[in-house]
């Protein structure tokens, strides 16, 4: 019997297809990644063991910071211009083309709708310096509920999708404000909320 000679192969293999794939994926992820936009205020969220992820879009984001201020953010590219239009009509204010464009890029804000135009006219750098007073939530001048309701309507009209309400509160935000915001929304029959938290390991519970 002849000795079986092992077939010698070249140890260097052709990496080209792998590199192609790797770069394809790099390009894909680079283009799809959205970096977290800067928030108007620093909100240090508490942690919880919940591991449910927040959906990508159609989110109404309510920020509550430690100074009892409420900020509003809306993540839905298509419905955002419609929301501004509706709010402008409701409060009798007008926004010019530049302000409307800036609103589409605005992450969240905390000024009464009457001052929103002035805020939108500023550029990004100037806007950071503005000390935003928060959106009024008193019963006399309750703008937050209008923002939320109009955002829901706008999203329904524009893309016919329901919205999620995410509440992002600071560790030291006071419960009275959070409860008030929840109360306001409950009055309009909104009973489902998502509280944005950090992840924390789930402890083992012995029963």
Partner 1 sequence: MAEIQQNSGGGGKGGKKRAKKMSTRIDMTPMVDLAFLLLTFFILTASFNKPNVMQLTMPVKEKNPEEQSELKASDAFTIVMSENDKLYYYEGLLAADVKPELKVSDYSADGIRKVLLERQRRNPKTVVLIKPSDKSNYKNMVDILDEMNITNQSKYAMVDVSKDDEDLIKSSGL
By CB under 8 A, name the binding residues for partner 1: 15-16, 18-19, 22-23, 25-26, 29-30, 32-36, 45-54, 56, 64, 166, 168-176, 178-179, 182, 186, 189, 191-200, 202-203, 205, 207
Nearer to partner 1, 150 or 170 (CB): 170
Local structure of residue 167 (DSSP, 8 states): E
Query: Which residue is listed with tokens 């792998």?
Result: 18
Cβ count near 151 (within 10 Å) = 26
CA 8/CA 119 separation, integer angstroms: 72
Strands 70-75, 59-64: pairing kind? antiparallel
Nearer to partner 1, 8 or 192 (CB): 192
Task: Provide, rounded to whole angstroms, the least separation between the CB of residue 100 and partner 1.
Answer: 28
Nearer to partner 1, 148 or 173 (CB): 173
Helix (H, G, I), strand (E, B) or coil at 26: helix
Local structure of residue 3 (DSSP, 8 states): P
Task: Provide, rounded to whole angstroms, the least separation between the CB of residue 97 and partner 1.
Answer: 32
Task: Provide, rounded to whole angstroms, the least separation between the CB of residue 178 and partner 1.
Answer: 6
Please compute, for residue 125, the number of CA atoms within 13 A of its CA located in the half-sphere on the CB side.
0
Rounded to an integer, what is the distance from CA 198 to the centroid of its chain? 15
Task: Provide, rounded to whole angstroms, the least separation between the CB of residue 50 and partner 1.
Answer: 4
Nearer to partner 1, 1 or 29 (CB): 29
Nearer to partner 1, 120 or 167 (CB): 167
Paired tokens of 155: 């999203």
Task: Provide, rounded to whole angstroms, the least separation between the CB of residue 135 and partner 1.
Answer: 18
């Amino acid at each position: 019997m002849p000795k079986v000679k092992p077939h010698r192969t070249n140890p260097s293999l052709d990496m080209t297809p792998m590199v192609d794939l790797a770069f394809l994926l790099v390009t894909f992820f680079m283009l799809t990644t959205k970096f977290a936009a800067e928030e108007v205020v620093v909100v240090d969220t508490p942690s919880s063991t919940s591991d449910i992820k927040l959906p990508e879009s159609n989110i109404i984001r309510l920020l509550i910071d430690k100074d009892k201020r409420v900020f509003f953010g809306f993540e839905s590219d298509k419905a955002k211009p419609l929301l501004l239009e509706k709010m402008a009509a409701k409060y009798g204010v007008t926004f010019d083309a530049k302000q409307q464009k800036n609103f589409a890029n605005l992450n969240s804000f905390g000024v009464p709708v009457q001052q929103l135009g002035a805020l939108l006219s500023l550029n990004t750098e100037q806007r950071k310096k503005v000390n935003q007073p928060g959106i009024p939530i008193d019963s006399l001048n309750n703008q937050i509920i209008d923002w939320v309701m109009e955002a829901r309507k706008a999203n329904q009209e524009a893309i016919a999708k329901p919205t999620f309400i995410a509440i992002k509160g600071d560790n030291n935000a006071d419960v009275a404000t959070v409860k008030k915001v929840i109360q306001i929304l409950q009055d309009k029959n909104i009973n489902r909320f998502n509280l944005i938290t950090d992840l924390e390991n789930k402890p083992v519970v012995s029963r």
